[in-house]
Amino acid sequence: MNINKMDLNLLVYLDVLLREKNVTRAANQLNITQPAMSNGLKRLRDLLNDPILVRTSDGMVPTERARELAPVVRGVLLTLEETLQPNKDFEPLHSQRVFRIMASDYAASTLIPALLKKMRVQAPLTSLDIMTPSDVTFHDVENGKVDMAINRFDQLPQSFHQKTVWRDSFSCLINASNPVVKHFNLDSYLKAQHIWVSKTGFGVGVGMDPKDVQKLGWVDEALAKLGKQRSISVFTRNYHVAMHLAVGIDLIATLPSRAAKLYENDPTMAIMDPPFAIPSIELKMIWSPLLHQDASHIWFRRLIVETADELN
């Protein structure tokens, strides 16, 4: 193949086609007509001597060759876009930029208040648009539509930049009138009823199966290693819901310590150390390579790190 004769727009077409797996959706993504995208697919097939997308009962499916090309093409385009980004100075005092971040309610309640205080002083005209994990996809972050995603992540694309915000231990949040507080040990913990709470990564949550320990996360995996299992009455993906339920009901919420400490001045609540070892969690911030050299984004990242360091 003579790359000098190749239309580089075809790489953009190929990237979107392999992500959308649908000609019409790919055309809409690039704001071109469906016939134009169909013509682009035909040219790609001729160029690569490969069908690229094959129609099946499950819709359009990429060929093996296409699957091999997908991460390579994506990487090339991201590198090119990053290189060509204009590098403008950022003046926080006068900027009216909107910083869009995806954050779990754990991160939003423990990190964002202190971050916002700093922003109000250093960049009073800027604003924050805080989205939940279910509002955002990996592609939104990868394409720079979201400035930052702050959460716990099981897996991340290699193209993303990332930095650890902090590590956090676990605590048990219990109504102070609950009898379990007076004799809190592993046996009384297991006899009690519990609130399960977790939200990692992106996307909409799915229903939980209490018997599927591997999908229940850190707390239940730690118990499983001891040959134990807790009785879960409520499953939630919202930390504030879990804490609110623990306040009014005789349920135990085992959750990150920074979240539990939001209730440390509430005399009706008790914060206890778990009666067994639970590995710490890691809160990360991730962002697109497209924004890595952006002056305003550099300022914002530094402010998040500075805020987290002070909270630590």
The CATH number of whichever domain residue 118 belongs to comes to 3.40.190.10
**Which of these three, 84, 105, 134, is where a domain ends?**
84
**Domain count of the chain?**
3
| pLDDT value at residue 62 | 92
| CA 157 – CA 142 distance, rounded (Å) | 9
- Do 254 and 185 have their domain in common? yes
| pLDDT value at residue 54 | 92
Domain carrying residue 64: 3-84
Mean pLDDT value across residues 52-77: 89
The reported pTM is 0.70
- Do 212 and 129 have their domain in common? no
- Do 145 and 129 have their domain in common? yes
Distance from the first to the final alpha carbon of the chain: 55
Q: Which two tokens stand for residue 216?
A: 């229940």
| pLDDT value at residue 61 | 92
- Do 67 and 98 have their domain in common? no
Please determine, for residue 64, whether its predicted confidence score (pLDDT) is greater than 90: yes
| CA 150 – CA 103 distance, rounded (Å) | 5
| CA 14 – CA 20 distance, rounded (Å) | 10
| pLDDT value at residue 269 | 95
- Do 7 and 139 have their domain in common? no
**Which of these three, 40, 57, 84, is where a domain ends?**
84
- Do 161 and 306 have their domain in common? yes
- Do 153 and 295 have their domain in common? yes
| CA 61 – CA 56 distance, rounded (Å) | 7
**Which of these three, 51, 84, 117, is where a domain ends?**
84
Q: Count the helices and strands in the chain (H runs, E runs).
A: 13, 12
- Do 181 and 271 have their domain in common? yes
- Do 192 and 118 have their domain in common? no
Cβ 127 vs Cβ 119: under 8 Å: no
- Do 151 and 20 have their domain in common? no
pLDDT tens for residues 246-271? 988 889 999 999 999 999 999 999 99
| CA 218 – CA 152 distance, rounded (Å) | 12
Helix or strand (DSSP H, E) at 72? helix 64-84
Please determine, for residue 214, whether its predicted confidence score (pLDDT) is greater than 60: no
Split at pLDDT 50, 70, 90, the class of 119 is very high
